[in-house]
Chains A and B, each alone.
Chain A
């Protein structure tokens, strides 16, 4: 007979439903953008500039969320922008996680000179102002998707390294690590089979948080025109363009902002929700 606690399925929390739901919608929107977007996101029509969203006077059918000052459809641009945002979130988030978590795990578990080198690097790294550092990097690397991803990884690996190092250190002090040594497990084997599973929930929570941060960083870089070419639709680029005409056409600024906000919030809440649900110790 199994313990009731093990067999019982916990209901999926509201948090997980809402955040997972929003992200699913976003992924579908990004995948199907060419099919569902009502207009070409790049098509300009100066006669249709600054059209308001559908419920206001003077709106045109077919332009649900209005148009920007060049007459481009806001909804279509948000849908296409989701592609870039998600690509950056997933790739930059994962790479940052792999680099940072590996270094943090090695530093926290092996200690010694590896820890000294990695920790010094983290300290030095964190003394740079992150946004300026990113702008500098992009300026050197040249704008483009790859540069954005590299910039995010280079700036943010320290977040993982610090947290995972601390976590690995506290886990290393547990007797099950000594017990693995008594059993004759190698140091590397102990790190992979004993420590890693115990820091994994933290890694997952940080990873989703990092995905949200990657979306923000991309938006910030778009805002200062250092992201992908100004022509292609990005949320940050739209926010930056909308800012200049916020008094005449607030919708160009507000809709991408709401989308960005919900996306970042969903990423962080998804991480917390997953941690609650899949951690056998908390369960």
Chain B
């Protein structure tokens, strides 16, 4: 198992309702989630806005600390590990962010952005590794000299993918990575990610609000609603026979080329 997550709770203080004195009330965002991510799986995490899917992703990467339950990564309990204890294993789980403009430091060249994490984990042959990563995501090697603002949205997102795969992680979390792209770039980035998962034997969790994107890429789907799992099944099963009412709502929200033609 790559991830074993049991009864995961996470709440954050609500600063807008903080009284003058005393602690702010806490909002419960994740209300006891349990699921597994098997090695080699491509898991889709879907839900509307405010369903807690991004918070779940950030908890899995331990950018947030859970308030209850447990997260095991490759057999190791990482639920309450400190940043210092996590640092050595951070190379093994990586993340691709939603907004590639904000996730790439605007004052670094692409080469530096990809090489930075490699250097932190003591890898050598940086230039070769950067070039290899650029090759993998289909960008020319001279892009290493460019700044992020000189790239298009799709190219930037490829840099984000290159940064993650260059570390040769076991697991990658992709958080809404195509929602900012136009449809043709979306398709290219999704194909690229699908191929990388196969070639590198990655385990992937793919967060999206759009079931049609999930359908292309994932073999299992987790449907989140208000911080709870309302449905978990194989992708095909989910599209054929959705169990939860909320899943049917999401399915109905997919724009179809022919609105009268059902999925099938």
A binds B: yes
Q: Is the CB of A197 within 8 A of B105?
A: yes
Given A181-B63, A182-B90, A175–B117 Cβ distance below 8 Å?
A: no
Contact of B107 among A1, A184, A281 (CB under 8 A): A281
Does B145 reach chain A (CB closer than 8 Å)?
yes
Residues of A contacting B107 in the complex (Cβ-Cβ under 8 angstroms): 197-198, 200, 280-281
* Interface 9-residue window, one of B18-26, B96-104, B221-229, B238-246: B96-104
Q: Does A11 contact B (CB under 8 A)?
A: no
Q: Scoring B residues 131 to 166 as 1 if CB is less than 8 Å from chain A, else 0, what string do you get?
A: 000000000001001110110000000000001000
Whole-angstrom CA separation of A193 from B116 in the bound complex = 10
Cβ contacts under 8 Å, B103 to chain A: 174-176, 178-179
In the complex, A189→B98 CA distance in Å? 24
With beta carbons under 8 angstroms apart, the residue of A178, A197, A198, A200 that contacts B63 is: A178
Residues A175 and B97 in contact in the complex (CB < 8 Å), given A184-B91, A185-B120: yes
**B88 partner residues in chain A, CB cutoff 8 A:** 184
State the Cβ distance, A53 to closest chain B Cβ, in Å: 50
Q: Which residue of A lies closest to B117 (CB)?
A: A183
Cβ–Cβ contact B120 & A175, under 8 A: no
Q: State whether the Cβ of A3 lies closer than 8 Å to any Cβ in chain B.
A: yes
Q: Which of A163-183 contact B (CB under 8 A)?
A: 174-176, 178-183
The answer to the question of A194 belonging to the interface, with a C-beta cut-off of 8 Å to chain B, is yes
**A120 contacts the other chain (Cβ, under 8 Å)?**
no
> Looking at A2, A179, A185, which has the most chain B CB atoms within 10 Å of its CB?
A179
In the complex, chain A residues 140-182 whose Cβ is within 8 Å of any chain B Cβ:
174-176, 178-182
Interface positions, chain A 11-53, Cβ under 8 Å from B, are: none
A181 to B106, alpha carbons, bound, how many Å? 17
Bound state CA distance, A194 and B107, in angstroms? 8
CB distance from A176 to the nearest CB of B (A): 4
B216 within 8 A of A: no
Q: Is A9 an interface residue (CB 8 A)?
A: no
A3 to B146, Cβ gap below 8 A? yes
In the bound assembly, the distance between CA atoms of A208 and B105 in angstroms comes to: 25
A10: CB under 8 A from chain B?
no
Q: Are B117 and A184 in contact (CB under 8 A)?
A: yes
Tell me whether A280 and B147 are in contact (CB under 8 A). yes
Are the C-beta atoms of A179 and B150 separated by less than 8 Å? no
Whether B98 lies near A183 (C-beta < 8 A) is: no
Q: How large is the interface on B (under 10, 10 to 19, 20 to 34, 35 or more residues)?
A: 20 to 34
Cβ of A247 within 8 Å of any chain B Cβ, yes or no, is no
Q: Is B51 an interface residue (CB 8 A)?
A: no
Nearest opposing residue in chain A for B108, CB measure: A197
The answer on a CB contact under 8 Å between B150 and A3 is yes
Query: Chain B contacts of A186 at CB under 8 A?
Result: 83, 87
Residues 188-224 of chain A, each 1 if its beta carbon lies under 8 Å from chain B, else 0: 0000011001101000000000000000000000000
**Interface residue? B218 (CB, 8 A):** no
Residues of A within 8 A of B61 (CB): 182
Q: How far is the CA of A93 from the CA of B61 in the complex (A)?
A: 43
CB contacts (< 8 Å) of B248 on chain A: these are none
Chain A residues lying within 8 Å of B121, measured Cβ to Cβ, are: 183-184
Query: Smallest CB-CB separation from B104: which chain A residue?
Result: A176
Measured CB to CB, the nearest residue on chain B to A5 is B150
Q: Which residues of B contact A184 (CB under 8 A)?
A: 86-88, 90-91, 117, 120-121
Contacts of B91 in A (CB 8 A): 184
Q: Which of B58, B90, B99, B146 contacts A183 (CB 8 A)?
A: B90
Q: Would A179 and B142 count as touching, CB distance under 8 A?
A: no
A196 to chain B, nearest CB (A): 10
Interface assignment of A6: CB less than 8 Å from any CB of chain B: yes
Q: What's the nearest-Cβ distance from chain B to residue A46, in Å?
A: 61
Is B203 in the interface zone, CB < 8 Å from A? Answer: no
Tell me the bound Cα distance from A185 to B115 in angstroms.
Answer: 13
Docked-complex contact A2 and B142, CB < 8 angstroms? yes
B120 partner, pick from A3, A174, A183, beta carbons under 8 A = A183
Q: B95 an interface residue at 8 Å Cβ cutoff?
A: yes
Are B99 and A175 interface neighbours, CB within 8 A?
A: yes
The residue in B87, B104, B107, B147 that gathers the most chain A C-beta atoms within 10 A of its C-beta is B107
- List 8 A-B pairs, Cβ < 8 Å: A6-B146, A6-B147, A178-B63, A183-B117, A185-B120, A187-B83, A280-B107, A281-B107
What 20 new A-B contacts, CB under 8 Å, besides A5-B150, A176-B102, A180-B116? Answer: A1-B142, A2-B142, A6-B150, A175-B102, A176-B103, A178-B97, A179-B97, A182-B94, A182-B95, A183-B167, A184-B87, A184-B91, A185-B116, A185-B117, A185-B120, A186-B87, A194-B105, A200-B107, A280-B106, A280-B147
B interface residues (Cβ-Cβ under 8 A, vs A)? 58, 61, 63, 83, 86-88, 90-91, 94-95, 97-99, 102-108, 116-117, 120-121, 142, 145-147, 149-150, 163, 167
